[in-house]
Amino acid sequence: MLFLVNIIVAGLLAGLMYALVAIGFVLIYKASGVFNFAQGAMVLLSALTFVTLNEHGLPFWLCFIITVGVLIVASVLIEFLVLRPLVNRSPDTLFMATLGLSFVIEGLAQLVLGTDVHQLDLGIPDVPLKLYGLQVSDFDLFTAAVSILLVAVLALLFGKTRVGISLRAVADNTLAAQSIGIRLPHIWRIVWSVAGVVALIAGLLWGNRQGVQFSLSLVVLKAMPVLIIGGFSSIPGAIVGGLIVGATENLADIYIGPLVHGAVSDWFAYILATAFLLIRPNGLFGEKPIQRV
């Protein structure tokens, strides 16, 4: 029994890592109805910027602030060069634009910052320790705390404030929002910057675990099933989706893995997501018209 609980807890904690990436997608989806394919590239860009600065001997907090600055500049440029010319086009058009954008960001990031694999050590031990018989590491607990904090901050940011209401208005009816004088560029810059900071946090935690390298931009692929299960427009959905993916992946690995002689966790989430697409295409939380973050 303890074994089973252990598997599930480990899975849930891994799932929070997925959820962190998925939240970045949800933010931009909520504000523009667009699946931002470039979110993975943002994760790579932010982690690469941070680790490069860190290797040059800058202290942690300074690296963080400078990287956030870089992400804000990137958001302003993206708004001006990509989003503004495409305003009021279909979400498909914008999705294609973000696809192109992801190549540009990945290319530029590697051109400027190099393609080496960097070690990133946040100084939090990732060694399993016993806690009431459960195997968890400090790092896992840290990730969980960061996720909870992040959701709380986002709820504060985009709740019932003027910005939160403008954001939901833009997502509801872009044209109407524009015509009553809501400044679209302003809203977009804010949302992309916040999504950038979320990408940075995800990038640091993932980078700490698997090193900072190109494959970091592929965490997008893990966020997909999380979003399909949780629903694209809900931050709680992203968290719940992440937890479900993490837990079921781990369970499948232990109980189905031996039967098929392979690592089930590589593909199990996609099977689960496919099932959700068939049974509940909007995800668990996607159906409600507007989710309060």
Partner 1 sequence: MTAALMVRDVSLSFLGVRALTSLSFSVAQGEICALIGPNGAGKSSLLNVINGVYRADSGDILIDDQLFSHPTPARAAKIGIGRTFQNNALFRRMSVIDNVLTGLTRQGKAGFLELAFRLGRYSTEQRIERAQAEDILAFLDISAHRDAIVGQLPYGLQKRVELARALVALPKLLLLDEPMAGMNKNEKAELSQFISDVNRQLGTTIVLIEHDIGVVMGLSHHVVVLDYGRKVGDGTPEEVRRNPDVIAAYLGTRH
Binding-site member from 112, 131, 176, 256 for partner 1 (CB under 8 A): 176
Binding-site member from 92, 138, 172, 266 for partner 1 (CB under 8 A): 172
Tell me how far apart the alpha carbons of residues 210 and 199 are, in angstroms, rounded to a whole number. Answer: 16
Binding-site member from 96, 169, 254, 277 for partner 1 (CB under 8 A): 169
CA distances to 97, 103, 129, 190, 197 from 74, rounded to whole Å, are 15, 14, 40, 11, 11
Smallest distance, Å, CB 60 to partner 1? 22
Q: Does 175 bind partner 1 (CB under 8 A)?
A: yes
Tell me how far apart the alpha carbons of residues 50 and 64 are, in angstroms, rounded to a whole number. Answer: 7
Are 245 and 42 in contact by the 8 Å Cβ rule? The answer is no
Binding-site member from 157, 211, 277, 280 for partner 1 (CB under 8 A): 157
Q: What backbone torsions phi and psi does residue 190 show, to the nearest 5 degrees?
A: -65, -50
Smallest distance, Å, CB 175 to partner 1? 7
Q: What backbone torsions phi and psi does residue 198 show, to the nearest 5 degrees?
A: -60, -40
Residue closer to partner 1, measured from CB, 10 or 151? 151
Residue closer to partner 1, measured from CB, 7 or 163? 163
Binding-site member from 57, 85, 133, 181 for partner 1 (CB under 8 A): 181
Tell me how far apart the alpha carbons of residues 18 and 220 are, in angstroms, rounded to a whole number. Answer: 9
Stretch that binds partner 1, among 81-89, 91-99, 165-173, 207-215 (CB under 8 A): 165-173
Residue closer to partner 1, measured from CB, 126 or 287? 287
CA distances to 61, 135, 203, 209, 245 from 122, rounded to whole Å, are 11, 21, 12, 10, 25
Smallest distance, Å, CB 46 to partner 1? 20
Q: Does 165 bind partner 1 (CB under 8 A)?
A: yes
Q: Does 156 bind partner 1 (CB under 8 A)?
A: yes
From the list 94, 97, 84, the residue with the least C-alpha distance to 178 is 84
Site for partner 1 in 183-212 (CB under 8 A): 183, 190
Tell me how far apart the alpha carbons of residues 54 and 207 are, in angstroms, rounded to a whole number. Answer: 13
Residues that bind partner 1 in the complex, under the rule CB under 8 A: 156-157, 161-163, 165-166, 168-169, 172-173, 175-183, 190, 289-290
